[in-house]
A = this chain, B = another copy of it.
Amino acid sequence: MFLANTMTEFILNTNDFESILVNKAQGSWIWDVKGKKYLDCTSGVWCLLIGHNHPKLIKTIKSQIDNLIHTNNRFLSPITLEAAERVLNFIPGNFDKITFLNSGSEAVEFSINLAKKITGRVDVLSLKDSYYGSYGTSKSLSYTSGKESKMKLQYRKCNSEECNCIEDLIPILDELLLAESIQPACFVLEPIMVSGGIHKPCKKYVEEVCNRIKNAGGLIISNEVTTGLGRSGKPFGFQHYNITPDIIVLGKGLGAGYPVSAIITRSELASKIPAEQKYYAQSHQLDPLGSAIANTVVRIIEEDEIIERSQEIISILEEFFGNLRHPSIKEIRQYGMIIGIQIQPYSSKNSSQLILEIKNRLLEEGIMIGLSLGKDLLRLLPPLNMSVEEVDFLKRKLTKVFDNLSP
C-alpha cells in the first residue's frame, strides 16, 4: 500500500533527516529497522530524563488509556489533581498553583502572559543567547529570532568571583529601568542556555539582575523546559543561583516523550488576575492522559532516585570530558547532564565538516549525539538514569572516534 520512492518523499523537510529509520527503544537505547542499536545521547529531543519506555510509565499509560484520555476543559479528573499536587510538592519553595499544557513554547508564552496580567505591564526582559520557543513572544525573546534588542541583556560566561560583569553590565540595566523607564512585567531566565550554545551566565550577575527586576516590580520566570527535573545536575536550573522565581515553566522531561508542559506559580500572584482574564483555551490543557504521565514521571524521579543517582554518572562524565583532548576540540562545557563539545577547525577541515564526520562516525559506532552547525557544537544530553556500563561504552566510542579522526 505504501509506496514512497524515497524515505522523505512525503515529509516536509523541516530538519536534516538521517537515513536511519528507528522503530524500537528501551532505556538509553534505540534500535533502527535493521536491528542495530544506538545509545541515545540526545534523549530524543532532550525529553527522556528517565530513558525510553520506562516500565512504570508504560504501565501508567496502558492503564490510563483504558479509562480516560481526554476531556472537555471544564471537567477535571482526579489524576489531574493528583499530578498537580505531586509536581507542586516536588518543587522547592511555596508554589501552590499549576496548570498543564502541551508544549514548552506554549507554556513559556502562557507564563509571560500571566506575568503581564499580574503586573499590568508589557515589558519583558531576558538574556542574550536564550531560547524560549518557536513562535510568538517566546520566539522574539530567543536568539533564533535573529533580532537584537536592548531587552535581551548582555551577560558574561565568567562565573568567577573576580568577574567585573556587575560593574560593567548592571549600569546598562539600570539605564533601561531608570532613564528609559522600562517597567518590567518579567525577566525570563533560561538558567543554562542549552539551545543557544550551552552557556551558564555569571551567577552574581543573574542574581543582581533578578534583584533589580524584583525591586522594579517585575516577576522572575524560570524557563525550566530543558533544565527542569534534574537535567542540569540539580532538581531545577534556578537552583544554580540564589534566586526565587515567581513562575516556573516545565516541559520536555515532564512527559518523557509525551507532549505535556506545566506552568507553576503562587496563589498570591495568581489571585491578582481578574477572573475574566484567566481564561485559556487549548485542546489538551489538563488532559487526564498528560496529567497521568506527568504524575508518573515525577513519581519515577522520586522513587528511582533519578537525580541523586545521576550524580555519580555526572562525576564520571566530568572526569572524562575534563581530560578529553584533541586539536579539533576548542572547549568542553558540562552542566550536569548537559554537555557541549565546542569544535574548531583542524587540519584541512572546518568545524562543520568535523562535526558531521564525528556525528557520522559515532552513529556507525552506535552512538547518537546532537549537533549545532551554527554554534560549532556537538551536544550530549543523555538520559539521567544511564548506567555506568553505558557511560563506559560512550567514553570508549568517543575516544575511538576522536583518536581516529582523519587529518
Chain A residues in contact with chain B, CB under 8 A?
Answer: 2-4, 7-18, 20-25, 30, 33, 40, 42, 44-48, 52-53, 58, 61-62, 65-82, 84-86, 88, 96-99, 102-106, 109-110, 113, 134-137, 139, 144, 195, 251-252, 256-259, 263, 265, 270, 275, 278-290, 368, 370
**In the complex, are the beta carbons of A70 and B85 less than 8 A apart?**
no
Contact of A68 among B14, B30, B77, B79 (CB under 8 A): B30
**In the complex, are the beta carbons of A2 and B65 less than 8 A apart?**
no
**In the complex, are the beta carbons of A105 and B104 less than 8 A apart?**
no
A33 to chain B, nearest CB (A): 6
Contacts of A67 in B (CB 8 A): 23-25
Contacts of A86 in B (CB 8 A): 2
Chain B residue with Cβ nearest A131: B281
CA distance A366 to B20 in the complex (A): 51
Contact of A13 among B23, B48, B144, B278 (CB under 8 A): B278
Chain B residue with Cβ nearest A73: B15
- What would 7 more interface pairs be, CB under 8 Å, given A14-B99, A14-B280? A10-B88, A14-B285, A23-B68, A52-B70, A58-B66, A69-B258, A257-B289
Given known pairs A23-B79, A81-B2, the reply for A13 and B275 (CB within 8 Å) is yes
Chain B residue with Cβ nearest A271: B13
**In the complex, are the beta carbons of B20 and A75 less than 8 A apart?**
yes
CA distance A9 to B9 in the complex (A): 50
**In the complex, are the beta carbons of A134 and B85 less than 8 A apart?**
no
A17 to chain B, nearest CB (A): 6
**In the complex, are the beta carbons of B84 and A10 less than 8 A apart?**
yes
CA distance A28 to B70 in the complex (A): 12
Contacts of A61 in B (CB 8 A): 61, 65
